[in-house]
Structure 1
Amino acid sequence: MKNVITFGTFDLFHYGHLKILQRAASLGDRLIVGVSSDSLNFSKKSRYPIYSEKERLDIIASLKCVSKVFLEESLELKKDYILKYKADILVMGNDWKGKFDCFNNICKVIYFQRTPSISTTEIIERIRI
């Protein structure tokens, strides 16, 4: 059984989120998704997500391509999460390209091209206008 793991905030869930999760799921038998906690998101982006961590966990867990969801508390624990969930493949968006190559010794690391012109930040900016 091949386990694939990925991480994200998944705030204002959109088509780009769906496509990256479906593509990640196609690489293995189980897709495990770490959803960034509210506090982790604040430390990365200096803002809290629109949807709470519980709401975002529920949204991701409802997708048929997702086998398991957990709360990602810290970027420094990525290796621990990979090992805990026995991930064979780590998938991240190419905005992180190169940042997780250090995990190539414990799993295969793949960076997916993001869906063009779709991001939560862009959606928030469009709503503000």
Structure 2
Amino acid sequence: MTRAIAQGTFDILHPGHVHYLEDAASYGDELHVIIARRGNVTHKEKPILADRQRRDMVAALDVVDEAHLGDREDIFVPIERIDPDYVVLGHDQHHDESSIQAALEDRGIDCEVRRASAREKRYDDELLSTGRIIDRILDERGD
């Protein structure tokens, strides 16, 4: 059984997330998704939705075999537990593949790191970014 892992914040699900997860799923027989905990998100704004709510939404997608909350202290703990063959990064995630690969090897995790492809817009006003969705909400519904 070949296992792939995708990971991310997944705040306000959108078609870009679905594309990423479908791409990640193509690397294995099982797709496990690790949902970043709010306290661990330091590279961008904190998620709006609660950790468990984001996990439950991702788990409801047909392409996902299992969704896990990330560890509060060590992002590699769930990866060790799942023992994947592939860790698939999102096309726009800030992680460097070679740094992640080295960190996995240092921990004795034998898997390959890949980067998912980007999804092109299918129509002009399609939003493929949580930040852009929030911006549009504020523009159209804000005070």
- Superposition TM-score, scaled by structure 2 size: 0.77
The residue identity in structure 1 corresponding to 2:18 is L
Give the unaligned 5+ runs of structure 2.
122-127
Residue 124 of structure 2 corresponds to none
Question: What is the CA–CA distance in structure 1 between the aligned matches of 2:72 and 2:132, rounded to whole Å?
Answer: 25
Question: What is the CA–CA distance in structure 2 between the aligned matches of 1:115 and 1:75, rounded to whole Å?
Answer: 32
Give the unaligned 5+ runs of structure 1.
none
Bigger strand share:
1
Secondary structure of 1:54 counterpart: helix
Deviation at 1:82, TM superposition (A): 2.0
Residue 129 of structure 2 corresponds to 119
The residue identity in structure 2 corresponding to 1:121 is G
Maintained 8 Å contact 1:97/1:111 = no
Deviation at 1:112, TM superposition (A): 1.3
Following superposition of structure 1 onto structure 2, how do residues 79-118 of structure 1 map, counting pairs within 5 Å?
A: 80-95=77-92, 96-98=95-97, 99-102=99-102, 103=104, 106-116=110-120, 118=128
Question: What is the CA–CA distance in structure 2 between the aligned matches of 1:82 and 1:73, rounded to whole Å?
Answer: 10
Q: Deviations over 1:8-54 (max 9, x none)?
A: 1100100000011011112111100100112122x332x43121111
The residue identity in structure 2 corresponding to 1:113 is S
Secondary structure of 1:70 counterpart: strand
Residue 68 of structure 1 corresponds to 66
Structure 1 residues 31 and 70, CA gap change in structure 2 (3 angstroms) = same
Question: What is the CA–CA distance in structure 1 between the aligned matches of 2:110 and 2:118, rounded to whole Å?
Answer: 24
Secondary structure of 2:4 counterpart: strand
Maintained 8 Å contact 2:23/2:117 = no
- Superposition TM-score, scaled by structure 1 size: 0.85
Residue 30 of structure 1 corresponds to 30
Bigger helix share:
1
Give aligned pairs, total.
126
Name the Cα RMSD after superposition.
Answer: 2.0
